[in-house]
């Protein structure tokens, strides 16, 4: 029914959904893991688009309960109208913190790289303190970190320093840059070693460019200015790299920051070019497979595996590439535990006032994991893995570990 | 990524299409831009409630009435889907519900007449068993039960409306309190549904209700909040505790009855190994030589191409962003065709909220194989098939046919996609 009367190109069609696109359907409230677990949280609809209509830059941020949003983004994944619900909440949360000031705890938790530097430099001591009950009581009292929350172990040899000594492959088909993130650098070098080994096995030379914390810990601790500073440093350092090669990240939330949040939440100019070249490492390996370039000469891995999809992975909009990849491995018995958010949401479940809530959110997942039984519970996100180990007493791993095993790396 | 068939959408038609493809043994990926209205609005599968949008006498035999509609209107989407698809899809869904542990009732040769939350009798063909005791062809008196402080169901309103519209007219209303829901707490059906899974909460409500009921023959209509993850057990336990037949009434969003259905079917598909790509709206189709080679999803940071042998576009017209309305034109997200235009944009809506809305009729023109078509009736791409709300030229609201149309076209589009 196109007529000559109107020139279609002159008709404006709004592409980005605004707060006006919210139809009040409440789909977001029904999936919110926090709203499901406590009746004092008013839910993403009320704190996001509803309250947003009454917020103005000149006025103080007053919506109570904002700090109960854990930042999982499931509201945005669910929204039929693609409203950036969580971004409204984050901005208001951040504005409130700027006006009222932040606690020492939130100041520290937003600086993962600083914590990592201190932790790895004093690794034996830091690890002793972090697992010492008396020290943990003091930490809860004076800092506000819950005493029962296991904290990650720091390692003396960082990934950065390991990689400097790592011999480069003699020949390669192409190069890829690795955004390893604070977790791999200070807490889990082994995962980074596995990532490098798997990429090199497939004829890809790994480059490790200079990088800063992705900024997500700062975002979720209401310090978007700090996150923006980190993000700007990464955009400056990594954009020239991205002109020459793809960038892969092995942490779900780091990857999402680079891909999406630098541009959308933090408004960092020019970040789109970096985002367009960033891939989750499992997404990247699946692309290799579809291009016929992945070495699928796998050893049998006779294991019972459960897969927990991190909430932020859903926001990537790429499906579950880890499940697709692992199903290529002979012997693997893989099943998804589809019980929603694990509850930890980065540093959320570490805090003394949020710990119980975080465990309640994850309780469905813990029960399902215990009932199903497995050799490993797999999750792409490191804090999901910590939470599943703590809550369900299971052994967890990044999906890369299974792939490495199939390639014969013990 | 690559797959045999990509289904774009999250509603009933998308689920029916995915199930059809899964049963054929071919690989299917579901692409979800966000959740559809099925997730929070839906309750029953209405095949045909009224023969036309302005008819007042409900259809008694929906299967037969659809056959007559097809004979009368050969370009109606039901006619394009065909009577075989109507029958096969009803079988498909009832078998699937059973396999997934959902207890549903109904058959194509009869309609239930179930009261809505406002007390209107509504014809529907397939319904959860927890709703069917409300059927108005049964003579027992009805007591509507609401909860103090719960704003989404007013039993007095339902009772007074139904009294005027139902010949038996023996209707009354009671309100009971929901333990733990004080006057300053705002709550929705979801909160109540979670509470109802707790035996002590359930028993406390049942005890109040027993006290207020007189007469052994009455049946009790309650808002659809009897359990979210264990509805079968919750319903049975509550009915036992009250000692009268209970029926649920779907509420305004969020509809717990819809959530149960959707979550269970989604999980069932995922358990069968079907992948869902969340949060990735499709925004372009790459078409060469009359075939769609890929659709591009807006993933975080970049476009994700999905390459499939065939595609089922099962989006709802407006709810999940299938169509983008400008001032004068409405465009689809795949082919960027102007599928409707208005000289005056307000022509898209009718003056009265309760009349047939012109915007409901906007959608893809179709070929006989449910392919989206251009203005000359040629397919926009020979391997793309359309199902559900994105089809032009029918009024699902007025004729109460949204669910039946969704499953019939979802099934037929999937069969076509498998053959393409």
One domain for residues B235 and B266: no
Contact A316 B279 (CB under 8 A): yes
Q: What's the number of CA atoms in the CB half-sphere (13 Å) around residue A171?
A: 0
Say how far apart CA B95 and CA A55 lie, in whole Å.
50
- B302: chain A residues, CB-CB within 8 Å: 259, 275-277
Nearest CB to B35; choose among A5, A78, A314: A78
pLDDT per residue as tens digits for the range A222-279: 999 999 999 999 999 999 999 999 999 999 999 999 999 999 999 999 999 999 999 9
One domain for residues B290 and B214: no
Say how far apart CA B153 and CA B49 lie, in whole Å.
23
Class of domain A304-406: alpha beta
The burial of A128, by beta-carbon neighbours within 10 Å (0-12 exposed, 13-18 middle, 19 or more buried), is given as: exposed
More confident residue, A103 or B37: A103
One domain for residues B276 and B357: yes
pLDDT per residue as tens digits for the range A10-39: 455 555 568 888 888 888 998 999 999 998
Specify if B122 maps to a domain. Answer: no
| Mutation target vs B (from A80, A291, A333, A341; most B CBs, 10 A cutoff) | A80
Nearest CB to A77; choose among B191, B279, B320: B279
> CATH code at B223?
3.40.50
End-to-end CA distance of chain A: 64
pLDDT per residue as tens digits for the range B386-402: 998 888 877 788 899 99
Nearest CB to B300; choose among A15, A42, A316: A316
- Which of A48-57, B218-227, B242-251 shows the lowest per-residue confidence on average (mean pLDDT)? A48-57
Last residue of a domain, one of B217, B249, B281: B249
pLDDT per residue as tens digits for the range A137-174: 999 999 999 999 999 999 999 999 999 999 999 889 99
Amino acid A4: pLDDT: 41
Instruction: Summarize the confidence of residues B345-357 as an average pLDDT.
Output: 79
Instruction: Summarize the confidence of residues B70-83 as an average pLDDT.
Output: 93
Contact A82 B34 (CB under 8 A): yes
pLDDT per residue as tens digits for the range A270-286: 999 999 999 999 999 99
Place of tokens 């999901």: A384
Contact A79 B339 (CB under 8 A): no
More confident residue, B416 or B278: B416
One domain for residues B137 and B63: no
Restricting to B residues 138-167, those with a Cβ less than 8 Å away from any Cβ of A are none
Contact A259 B302 (CB under 8 A): yes
Write out the two tokens for B189. Answer: 């059906």
Nearest CB to A317; choose among B275, B299, B328: B299
Contact B254 A6 (CB under 8 A): no
Nearest CB to B270; choose among A29, A258, A338: A338
Contact A276 B301 (CB under 8 A): yes
Specify if B112 maps to a domain. Answer: no
- B298: chain A residues, CB-CB within 8 Å: 317
Distance from CA of A122 to the nearest CA of B (A): 37
One domain for residues B287 and B403: yes
For A145-174, give the secondary structure using H, E and C: ECCCCCCCCCCCCCHHHHHHHCCCCCCCCE
CA angle A248, A252, A255 (to 5 degrees): 45
Distance from CA of A384 to the nearest CA of B (A): 19
Specify if B108 maps to a domain. Answer: no
Q: Which domain holds residue B269?
A: 2-101+262-419
Amino acid A16: pLDDT: 59
| Total domain count, chain B | 2
Write out the two tokens for A329. Answer: 């491995």
- pLDDT exceeds cutoff 60 at A377: yes
Q: Do the Cβ atoms of B26 and B272 come closer than 8 Å? A: no
Write out the two tokens for B351. Answer: 């003056």
Say how far apart CA B153 and CA A388 lie, in whole Å.
40
Instruction: Summarize the confidence of residues B375-391 as an average pLDDT.
Output: 91
Say how far apart CA B255 and CA B231 lie, in whole Å.
13
One domain for residues B156 and B292: no
Nearest CB to A82; choose among B190, B254, B321: B321
Size of interface A-B (CB pairs under 8 A): 141
- pLDDT exceeds cutoff 60 at B87: yes
One domain for residues B399 and B294: yes
Specify if B126 maps to a domain. Answer: no
One domain for residues B353 and B242: no
pLDDT per residue as tens digits for the range B183-208: 888 788 999 999 999 999 999 999 99
Is B168 an interface residue toward A (CB < 8 Å)?
no
Q: Which residues contact B113 (CB under 8 A, 6 or more apart)?
A: B58, B121, B122, B123, B135, B136, B137
One domain for residues B89 and B44: yes
Say how far apart CA B79 and CA A135 lie, in whole Å.
74
Give the percent of chain B with pLDDT over 70: 98
Instruction: Summarize the confidence of residues A116-137 as an average pLDDT.
Output: 94
- B253: chain A residues, CB-CB within 8 Å: 25-27
- B338: chain A residues, CB-CB within 8 Å: 1-2, 8, 11
Q: How far are the Cα atoms of A176, A181, A248, A262, B86 from residue A209, in angstroms, in the given order?
A: 10, 11, 12, 18, 59
pLDDT per residue as tens digits for the range A330-363: 999 999 999 999 999 999 999 999 999 999 999 9
ipTM computed for the complex: 0.90
Distance from CA of B223 to the nearest CA of A (A): 17
One domain for residues B54 and B97: yes
- B40: chain A residues, CB-CB within 8 Å: 25-27, 30
Domain locations along chain A = 19-100, 304-406
Return the residue of B nearest to A318 by Cα: B277
Nearest CB to A11; choose among B35, B320, B328: B328
- Which of A64-68, A239-243, B367-371 shows the lowest per-residue confidence on average (mean pLDDT)? A64-68
Nearest CB to B188; choose among A17, A29, A82: A29
- pLDDT exceeds cutoff 70 at A187: yes
Strand pairing category for B338-341 and B329-331: antiparallel
Nearest CB to A26; choose among B40, B337, B343: B40
Instruction: Summarize the confidence of residues A304-316 as an average pLDDT.
Output: 97
Peptide bond just before B167 cis, omega within 30 deg: no
Specify if B331 maps to a domain. Answer: yes
Specify if B85 maps to a domain. Answer: yes
Instruction: Summarize the confidence of residues B17-38 as an average pLDDT.
Output: 91
- B270: chain A residues, CB-CB within 8 Å: 336, 338
One domain for residues B77 and B154: no
Say how far apart CA B305 and CA B24 lie, in whole Å.
24
Contact B343 A5 (CB under 8 A): yes
One domain for residues B286 and B389: yes
DSSP assignment letter at A68: G
Restricting to B residues 302-331, those with a Cβ less than 8 Å away from any Cβ of A are 302, 304, 319-321, 324-329, 331
- Which of B10-14, B92-96, B104-108 shows the lowest per-residue confidence on average (mean pLDDT)? B10-14
Is B253 an interface residue toward A (CB < 8 Å)?
yes
Amino acid A9: pLDDT: 44
- B29: chain A residues, CB-CB within 8 Å: 319
Amino acid A410: pLDDT: 67
Last residue of a domain, one of B189, B218, B249: B249
Q: How far are the Cα atoms of A73, A93, A224, A289 from residue A87, in angstroms, in the given order?
A: 9, 10, 11, 34
Specify if B327 maps to a domain. Answer: yes
Amino acid B321: pLDDT: 61
Amino acid B212: pLDDT: 94
Instruction: Summarize the confidence of residues A362-381 as an average pLDDT.
Output: 97
- Where residue B291 falls among pLDDT bands split at 50, 70, 90? very high
- Which of A1-10, A21-30, B302-311 shows the lowest per-residue confidence on average (mean pLDDT)? A1-10
């Amino acid at each position: 029914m196109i007529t000559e009367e109107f020139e279609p190109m002159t008709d404006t069609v709004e592409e980005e959904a605004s707060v006006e696109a919210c139809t009040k359907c409440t789909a977001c409230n029904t999936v919110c893991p926090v709203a499901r677990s406590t009746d004092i949280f008013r839910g993403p609809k009320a704190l996001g688009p509803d309250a947003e209509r009454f917020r103005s830059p000149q006025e103080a941020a007053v919506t109570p309960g904002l700090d109960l949003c854990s930042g999982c983004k499931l509201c945005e994944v669910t929204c039929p109208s693609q409203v950036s619900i969580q971004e409204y909440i984050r901005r208001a949360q951040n504005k409130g913190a700027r006006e009222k000031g932040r606690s020492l705890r939130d100041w520290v938790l937003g600086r993962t790289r600083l914590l990592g530097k201190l932790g790895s430099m004093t690794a034996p001591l830091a690890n002793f303190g972090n697992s010492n009950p008396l020290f943990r009581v003091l930490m809860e009292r004076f800092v506000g970190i819950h005493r029962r929350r296991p904290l990650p172990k720091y390692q003396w040899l960082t990934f950065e320093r390991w990689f400097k000594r790592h011999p480069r492959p003699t020949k390669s088909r192409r190069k890829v840059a690795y955004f390893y993130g604070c977790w791999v650098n200070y807490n889990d070098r082994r995962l980074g070693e596995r990532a490098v080994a798997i990429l090199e096995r497939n004829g890809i030379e790994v480059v490790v460019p200079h990088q800063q914390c992705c900024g997500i810990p700062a975002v979720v601790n209401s310090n978007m200015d700090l996150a923006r500073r980190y993000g700007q440093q990464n955009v400056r350092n990594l954009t020239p790299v991205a002109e020459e090669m793809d960038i892969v990240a092995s942490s779900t939330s780091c990857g999402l920051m680079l891909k999406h949040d630098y541009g959308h939440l933090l408004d960092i100019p020019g970040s789109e070019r970096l985002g367009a070249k960033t891939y989750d490492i499992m997404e990247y390996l699946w692309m290799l497979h579809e291009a016929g370039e992945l070495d699928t000469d796998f050893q049998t891995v006779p294991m019972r595996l459960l897969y927990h999809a991190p909430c932020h992975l859903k926001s990537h909009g790429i499906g579950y590439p880890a499940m697709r990849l692992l199903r290529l491995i002979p012997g693997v018995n893989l099943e998804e535990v589809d019980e929603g958010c694990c509850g930890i949401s980065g540093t959320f479940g570490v805090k003394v006032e949020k710990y119980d809530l975080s465990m309640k959110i994850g309780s469905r997942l813990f029960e399902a994991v215990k009932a199903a039984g497995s050799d490993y519970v797999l999750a792409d996100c490191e804090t999901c893995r910590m939470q599943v180990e703590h809550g369900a007493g299971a052994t967890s791993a990044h999906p890369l570990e299974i792939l490495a095993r199939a390639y014969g790396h013990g | 990524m690559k797959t045999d068939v990509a289904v774009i959408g999250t509603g009933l038609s998308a689920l029916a299409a995915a199930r059809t493809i899964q049963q054929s043994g071919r690989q299917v990926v579901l692409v979800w831009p966000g959740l559809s209205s099925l997730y929070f609005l839906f309750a029953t599968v209405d095949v045909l409630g009224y023969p036309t949008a302005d008819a007042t006498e409900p259809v008694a035999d929906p299967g037969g009435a659809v056959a007559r509609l097809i004979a009368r209107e050969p370009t109606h989407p039901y006619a394009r889907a065909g009577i075989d698809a109507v029958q096969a899809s009803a079988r498909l869904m009832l078998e699937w519900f059973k396999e997934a542990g959902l207890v549903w009732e109904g058959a194509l040769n009869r309609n239930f007449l179930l009261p809505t939350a406002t007390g209107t009798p509504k014809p529907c063909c397939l319904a959860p068993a927890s709703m069917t005791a409300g059927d108005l062809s049964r003579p027992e008196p009805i007591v509507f039960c609401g909860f103090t402080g719960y704003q989404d169901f007013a039993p007095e309103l339902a009772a007074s409306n139904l009294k005027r519209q139902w010949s038996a007219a023996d209707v009354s209303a009671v309100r009971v309190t929901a333990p733990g829901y004080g006057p300053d707490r705002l709550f929705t059906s979801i909160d109540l549904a979670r509470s109802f899974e707790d035996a002590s909460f359930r028993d406390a409500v049942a005890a109040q209700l027993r006290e207020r009921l007189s007469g052994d023959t009455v049946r009790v209509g309650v808002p659809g909040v009897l359990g979210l993850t264990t509805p079968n057990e919750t319903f049975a336990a509550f009915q036992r505790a009250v000692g009268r037949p209970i029926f649920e009434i779907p509420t305004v969003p969020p509809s717990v009855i819809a959530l149960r259905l959707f979550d269970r079917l989604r999980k069932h598909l995922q358990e069968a190994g079907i992948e869902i790509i969340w949060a990735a709206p499709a925004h372009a189709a790459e078409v060469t030589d009359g075939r769609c080679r890929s659709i591009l999803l807006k993933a975080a940071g970049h476009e994700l191409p999905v390459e499939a042998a065939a595609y089922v576009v099962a989006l709802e017209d407006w709810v999940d962003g299938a169509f983008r309305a400008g001032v004068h034109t409405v465009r689809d997200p795949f082919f960027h065709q102007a599928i409707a235009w208005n000289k005056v944009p307000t022509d898209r809506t009718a003056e009265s909220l309760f009349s047939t809305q012109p915007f409901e009729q906007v959608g893809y023109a179709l070929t006989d194989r449910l392919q989206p078509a251009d203005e000359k009736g040629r397919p926009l791409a020979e391997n793309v098939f359309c199902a559900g709300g994105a089809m032009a030229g029918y009024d699902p609201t007025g004729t109460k046919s949204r669910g039946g149309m969704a499953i019939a076209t979802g099934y037929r589009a999937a069969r076509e996609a498998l053959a393409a």
